[in-house]
Amino acid sequence: MTAHFFDTLWISLPVPCLVIDGQSNIAEINPAGEIFMNASAKSLRGAPVWDKLHVNAPLDEAVTRVRRDNSALFVNTVDVGSGEKPPVQCNVQLTTMVDRPDYIMILMEPREIAQKMGRDLKSKSAARSAIGMAEMLAHEIKNPLAGITGAAQLLSMSLSGDDIELTDLIVEESRRVVKLLEQVEQFGNLRPPMRKPVNLHDVLDRAQKSAAVGFAAHMKIKENYDPSLPSTFADSDQLLQVFQNLLKNAAEASDKTGGTIEIRTFYEMSLRVERPDGTRAAVPLQVEIIDDGPGLPDNLAGQVFEPFVSGRDNGTGLGLALVSKIVSEHDGWISVSSAPGRTVFRISLPVAPKDHIT
């Protein structure tokens, strides 16, 4: 391929993309990026990126992590604004460049569908109808399915041998569909969190115990806790669901012979996220679930937090969508960085307000 070909490729790339240098100044931006930012490459080159891009997630810190770990990082549902333009909800990918590890490429993919299905779920009627429709369907399919299962069980009583295998198959597969439908219903029914001061380590221990006797029995789980971590302000049952889903994914990503999951907690003062009302909240409590499996499948990497995106044969793709919804309802943020041998899901959460700590 000629250099000209790659120039053309950069110019035609339909996703807004910019490259920043070691000092986080804009080095280059593609035409889709110029349209997105409503400014010319000429006027942007050399400018500090965070002066020009306004985001409601701690992407500056994410950039530091990408540089340090030399890995790609994905953050979903970031509101990205620039100049006078209203912010656009994007999935953001950060990645270092081969041969230029101090340069970082930032891809901002507007979340059109995601906008309908994302965290504004409660207020957006389009989203309500999409999820509502799925819920209604789930409910309606469950009844006839129960009839089919019952009929197959009745039939099996008068059958023998190979024929029973077939009715067993009907029953088994129907149960699988029911399970999937229940997950869809649960996704739609998530109640608003009932937040109280919660010790993160208590919730992590509960998640870890159920993982160790169940889906993660083949894995080694290592704790790396900061015992001085203050309480967070959360619905502990919902938080438990978050950690269980992440542990389950880590266990499922490793092959049957096992692998290691590290659960790490630590404090990082500088992280802030923007709340829906525009105020900024500190999210200093960090929980990382780290596994040494193969990493996110390349074709899914930017989308794993979207509903129904799964890289597994039996996956519904609702696990991380639920995780991301719960975390954002807790004023937190989630990101993932992934390379073969090391996948890190990080959740950043606020500290419980002082008047709630007993």
Ligand X SMILES: Nc1ncnc2c1ncn2[C@@H]1O[C@H](COP(=O)(O)OP(=O)(O)OP(=O)(O)O)[C@@H](O)[C@H]1O
Can you give the binding site for ligand X, defined by CB under 6 A? 245, 249-250, 253, 291, 293, 295-297, 300, 304, 309-312, 315-321, 343
Report the partner that residue 304 touches, choosing among ligand X, Mg ion, none (CB closer than 5 to 8 A by kind). ligand X
Those residues with Cβ within 8 angstroms of residue 228's Cβ, 6 or more apart along the chain or in another chain:
267
Q: Return the number of the residue (100 or 179) whose C-beta is nearest ligand X.
A: 179
Contact 92, 106 (CB under 8 A): yes
Quick one: which H or E segment has residue 4?
A: helix 3-12
> What's the residue count for the chain?
358
Q: Return the number of the residue (92 or 253) whose C-beta is nearest ligand X.
A: 253
Q: Which two tokens stand for residue 129?
A: 């109808």
Q: Return the number of the residue (193 or 311) whose C-beta is nearest ligand X.
A: 311
CB of 294 to ligand X, least distance (A): 6
CB of 213 to ligand X, least distance (A): 19
CB of 217 to Mg ion, least distance (A): 17
CB of 127 to ligand X, least distance (A): 18
CB of 358 to Mg ion, least distance (A): 35
Report the partner that residue 58 touches, choosing among Mg ion, ligand X, none (CB closer than 5 to 8 A by kind). none
How far from the centroid of its chain's Cα atoms is residue 257's Cα?
Answer: 26
Residue 104: left (phi > 0), alpha (psi -120 to 50), or beta? beta
Q: Which residues within the stretch 281-320 sit at the binding site for Mg ion (CB under 5 A)?
A: 319
Report the partner that residue 311 touches, choosing among Mg ion, ligand X, none (CB closer than 5 to 8 A by kind). ligand X
Report the partner that residue 295 touches, choosing among ligand X, Mg ion, none (CB closer than 5 to 8 A by kind). ligand X
Q: Return the number of the residue (95 or 167) whose C-beta is nearest ligand X.
A: 95
Report the partner that residue 110 touches, choosing among Mg ion, ligand X, none (CB closer than 5 to 8 A by kind). none
Our CA angle for 117, 78, 109, nearest 5°, is 80
Report the partner that residue 316 touches, choosing among ligand X, Mg ion, none (CB closer than 5 to 8 A by kind). ligand X
Size, binding site for Mg ion by CB under 5 A? 2
Q: Return the number of the residue (249 or 303) whose C-beta is nearest Mg ion.
A: 249
Our CA angle for 287, 293, 295, nearest 5°, is 80
Contact 27, 21 (CB under 8 A): yes
User: What span, in angstroms and rounded, lies between the C-alpha atoms of 336 and 343?
Assistant: 7
Those residues with Cβ within 8 angstroms of residue 227's Cβ, 6 or more apart along the chain or in another chain:
201
User: What span, in angstroms and rounded, lies between the C-alpha atoms of 195 and 352?
Assistant: 9
Report the partner that residue 122 touches, choosing among Mg ion, ligand X, none (CB closer than 5 to 8 A by kind). none
User: What span, in angstroms and rounded, lies between the C-alpha atoms of 246 and 190?
Assistant: 18
Q: For 335, phi and psi rounded to 5 degrees?
A: -145, 160
DSSP-derived 3-state class of residue 293: coil
Q: Return the number of the residue (198 or 304) whose C-beta is nearest ligand X.
A: 304
User: What span, in angstroms and rounded, lies between the C-alpha atoms of 275 and 146?
Assistant: 43
CB of 125 to Mg ion, least distance (A): 29
CB of 166 to ligand X, least distance (A): 27
CB of 283 to ligand X, least distance (A): 21
Site membership for Mg ion, residue 249 (CB under 5 A): yes
For residue 310, what is the DSSP state?
-
Q: Return the number of the residue (215 or 266) whose C-beta is nearest ligand X.
A: 215
Those residues with Cβ within 8 angstroms of residue 7's Cβ, 6 or more apart along the chain or in another chain:
none
Q: Return the number of the residue (55 or 321) whose C-beta is nearest Mg ion.
A: 321
Residues near Mg ion (CB under 5 A) are: 249, 319
